[in-house]
Amino acid sequence: MAPSLPHSYMVGDFDCNIGVEFEFVVQGLRGGRPPSLDLEAPDSEQDKRVQEVRHVLRKANIRCYPPISRDSPAYFDNDDWDRGSGLLSGFLDESARKQGFEIQVPGPQRKYQFWMPHPDLSVIPDRFQTMAGPADDTKPSQGCEISSRVMRASDAAGEVTRVLGALRSDMKVCNTTTAGLHLHMSEPPSGDSPGGTVRTLTTRRLISLLVMIEGSMYKLCDPERLMSAHCKPVTESVRAIAVRGDPAKPLSKLGRQHISAALKNVDKQTMAYIWDESITHVDIPYFVSAPALRVKPIGNSDPELASNAFDFEFRYLEGTLDPILTCQWARVCCALFRIAATYSTDMFRLKMLELDRIITPDHPAWHRESRIPLKTSSLRDFLAALGIDNPATYIFWLEKLIANEQAMIARPIVDGFLAPLSEQ
């Protein structure tokens, strides 16, 4: 019997906190950034569609509250967005209290105890919609996002599958090249740590890992994601900051404990900046706007913690409404997070040397925001290094890479775009 594909977000025993954000387009709502319209919310098409979102989520046994108040405008432009967001927030708080919930805690942190659908003006229809065919201007559509509640990696797969199954069976939804899948992760409880946040050490390690393998992350994606301004390479942004500093700066003492000086493929300046003792995990994510990895003080972190909670947000991933692809992407991100959060100093040094060894300079990935090639590795070596080299997982990603190449041929992006990860 052929090995089965893992159906759990958890890798090993690393049961981290996780939240998922799905971006998509719903037919029947206007797309793009519409002008301010003075519409009666109870009679608007948007209000109707929001109610449908609520209906299908209830069918999936997911707690959800309507994101549009009858007193709030049906459309927001840039000028109205702050006012509209305030109305939206107040309405959600009131709805939650009626149901016995509190979705606010002291400080800016919000409790993510429910699935929340809302309009997303960054997601626009295009001719490359993958589930509904070519866009039809006579049938307006609206970009949307559904943010999950906080889950544990061990039980997230079943819940996400129910939600996506309900959406795909009951609504005319699709993905576009502007849509993304965002995964929020924070550390699980361990020892004296209550969990629900990320440590500075974990952040340094994760960014160091991405500097090694970020090209492979992009190669696993739909090629169009390489052109997105919403997931700019972490490697490029770190290096852009590092070169402004002292070019002769050696790897810091802190860095030497975790990063071997024997690395051959990594600019020592880059690592020196990541491991600079004066840099904290609050500073690290803000190299550029919309990086492919964010460290956010507000997100799907443990809801019991307040303003001191942080999480990682992985933004490399193309939009999808497929629970299997979502699960496999989550496993890739959980595997990286697990290495960064749980490995000893010596184990992490060895892992960095292993990744350095498997890099294949002949097959780089280019992102439109990057001035340098992001080196990749073979698929088999990449999955083995992450500890998720189940045979079925390898076959899944190999088929995905073939589909990526076919998509690249059907939707050429730039001349000379290089082939995906090798299959060996």
pLDDT tens-digit map of 199-236: 888 889 999 999 999 999 998 988 778 778 788 888 88
Closest CA to 339 of 402, 289, 386, 282: 386
pLDDT for the residue 414: 40
pLDDT for the residue 122: 74
* C-alpha–C-alpha distance, residues 254 and 231, integer Å: 29
Dihedral sign of CA atoms 179, 112, 9, 275 in order: positive
Name residue 279's beta-bridge partners: none
Closest CA to 201 of 97, 62, 337, 53: 337
311, pLDDT greater than 70: yes
pLDDT for the residue 212: 92
pLDDT for the residue 76: 37
pLDDT for the residue 15: 92
pLDDT for the residue 358: 93
pLDDT greater at residue 216 or residue 249: 216
Q: Which token pair is 320?
A: 């999808």
pLDDT greater at residue 278 or residue 336: 336
194, pLDDT greater than 60: no
Query: DSSP assignment, residue 110?
Result: B
* C-alpha–C-alpha distance, residues 275 and 203, integer Å: 10
Helix (H, G, I), strand (E, B) or coil at 114: coil
pLDDT for the residue 326: 93
103, pLDDT greater than 80: no
pLDDT for the residue 413: 45
pLDDT greater at residue 127 or residue 197: 197
- Spell 371-381 as b/e; 16+ CB within 10 A means b: eebbbbbbbbb
* pLDDT confidence tier of residue 198, bands split at 50, 70 and 90: confident
Tell me the average pLDDT of the chain: 70
pLDDT for the residue 108: 38
Closest CA to 336 of 219, 190, 192, 185: 185
269, pLDDT greater than 60: yes
pLDDT for the residue 398: 92
Contact (CB, 8 A) for 104 and 111: yes
Name 63's Cβ contacts closer than 8 Å, sequence gap at least 6.
99, 113, 114, 115, 149
pLDDT for the residue 297: 62
pLDDT for the residue 64: 39
158, pLDDT greater than 80: yes
Lowest mean pLDDT among 134-143, 359-368, 400-409: 134-143
Q: Which token pair is 274?
A: 């990541």
Tell me the percentage of the chain whose pLDDT exceeds 70: 55
pLDDT for the residue 47: 55
149, pLDDT greater than 50: yes
Q: What is the pLDDT of residues 251-268, one digit of tens each?
A: 777 888 899 888 888 887
pLDDT greater at residue 364 or residue 15: 15
Name 190's Cβ contacts closer than 8 Å, sequence gap at least 6.
none
* pLDDT confidence tier of residue 351, bands split at 50, 70 and 90: very high
| Class of residue 325 by CB neighbours under 10 A (exposed 0-12, middle 13-18, buried 19+) | middle
Three-state SS string across 159-225, please? HHHHHHHHHHHHCCEECCCCCEEEEEEECCCECCECCCCCCHHHHHHHHHHHHHHHHHHHHHCCHHH
Tokens 């500073």 belong to 283
Report the Cα 216 to chain-centroid distance in Å. 15
Lowest mean pLDDT among 50-59, 115-124, 401-410: 50-59
pLDDT for the residue 394: 94
pLDDT greater at residue 21 or residue 197: 21
Average pLDDT for 298-326: 69
* pLDDT confidence tier of residue 384, bands split at 50, 70 and 90: very high
Closest CA to 21 of 300, 397, 214: 300
Closest CA to 10 of 149, 189, 155: 155
Question: 247: alpha, beta or left, given left = phi > 0 and alpha = psi -120 to 50?
Answer: alpha
* pLDDT confidence tier of residue 392, bands split at 50, 70 and 90: very high
Tokens 């803000």 belong to 286
pTM reported for the whole predicted model: 0.77
The residue type at 234: V
* C-alpha–C-alpha distance, residues 301 and 311, integer Å: 6
| Class of residue 175 by CB neighbours under 10 A (exposed 0-12, middle 13-18, buried 19+) | buried
Tell me the percentage of the chain whose pLDDT exceeds 90: 19
Lowest mean pLDDT among 207-211, 269-273, 368-372: 368-372
Average pLDDT for 116-136: 55
∠ Cα 354 422 128 (to 5°): 120
pLDDT for the residue 275: 86
* C-alpha–C-alpha distance, residues 322 and 327, integer Å: 9
Query: DSSP assignment, residue 319?
Result: P
pLDDT for the residue 338: 96
Name residue 152's beta-bridge partners: 17
* pLDDT confidence tier of residue 382, bands split at 50, 70 and 90: very high
Helix (H, G, I), strand (E, B) or coil at 334: helix
Lowest mean pLDDT among 107-121, 122-136, 208-222: 122-136
